[in-house]
């Protein structure tokens, strides 16, 4: 997944910074649970793969949330980040393709920490349609447009076979879905105002192998 897949006007901050803000938010919430109220950029980045400087820079794109000579108030910063990221209201997402990966994602706990809720699931398979998984009824993909419109859903996760993914993405953008997280091994083409994030697990592994191979070759 990659910044270039997200089509955005110039923003003044790197798109990767947003992913890091999510990371910070998650960790701040852990700190709050431990009743830690104050934290410096050096302390919080200690366990993330981020430099203190980058942490401060990322925050500075959105404002000055710390106190010089002191650090950041954990509770206050959580509120700010919740605001910036939109985590303070629930976001409904449709999931398309209830195969193994799809059903794993349906029951993935990790989304809830960011107030993300899978609100609809679709599949082509008659076997799956009508069944309920993790509280969500699997619907017929023929009803995609109708149901997504009805529920005013603006985001989708695609985990279908690659052959049908592009057409699906076209249908989704057609009805106003503006964010797509794509797990199918294909690079989606979408209009400029739709944000796509491709997670290509095979390519990811492939890259690891490449670097591993380099090490092994070097040892020979």
Binding site for DNA (CB under 7 A): 3-4, 10, 13-17, 40-42, 51-54, 56-57, 59-60, 64-72
CB 55, min distance to DNA, A = 8
181 binds, among DNA, a second copy, none (CB under 5 to 8 A by kind): a second copy
101 binds, among DNA, a second copy, none (CB under 5 to 8 A by kind): a second copy
Cβ closer to a second copy: 130 or 134?
A: 134
Confirm if 156 and 119 have CB atoms less than 8 A apart: no
CB 216, min distance to DNA, A = 22
Confirm if 59 and 71 have CB atoms less than 8 A apart: no
CB 159, min distance to a second copy, A = 9
124 binds, among DNA, a second copy, none (CB under 5 to 8 A by kind): none
CB 130, min distance to a second copy, A = 21
Cβ closer to a second copy: 86 or 130?
A: 86
Q: Would you say the C-alpha torsion 82, 88, 92, 97 has a positive or negative sign?
A: positive
């Amino acid at each position: 997944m990659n910044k270039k897949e997200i089509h955005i006007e110039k923003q003044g901050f790197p798109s990767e910074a947003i992913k890091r803000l999510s990371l910070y938010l998650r960790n701040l919430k852990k700190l709050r649970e431990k009743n830690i109220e104050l934290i410096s950029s050096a302390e919080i980045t200690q366990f993330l793969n981020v430099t203190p400087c980058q942490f401060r820079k990322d925050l500075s794109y959105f404002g000055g949330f710390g106190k010089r000579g002191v650090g950041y108030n954990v509770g206050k910063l959580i509120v700010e980040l919740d605001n910036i990221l939109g985590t303070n209201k629930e976001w409904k997402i449709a999931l398309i393709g209830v195969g193994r990966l799809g059903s794993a994602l349906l029951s993935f706990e990790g989304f809830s920490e960011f107030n993300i809720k899978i609100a609809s699931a679709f599949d082509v398979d008659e076997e799956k349609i009508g069944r309920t998984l993790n509280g969500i009824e699997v619907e017929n993909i023929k009803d995609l447009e109708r149901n997504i419109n009805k529920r005013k859903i603006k985001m989708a996760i695609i985990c279908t076979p690659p052959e049908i993914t592009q057409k699906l993405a076209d249908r989704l953008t057609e009805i106003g879905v503006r964010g797509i997280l794509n797990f199918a091994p294909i690079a989606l083409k979408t209009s400029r105002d739709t944000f796509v994030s491709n997670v290509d697990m095979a390519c990811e592994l492939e890259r690891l192998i490449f670097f591993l191979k380099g090490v092994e070759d070097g040892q020979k």
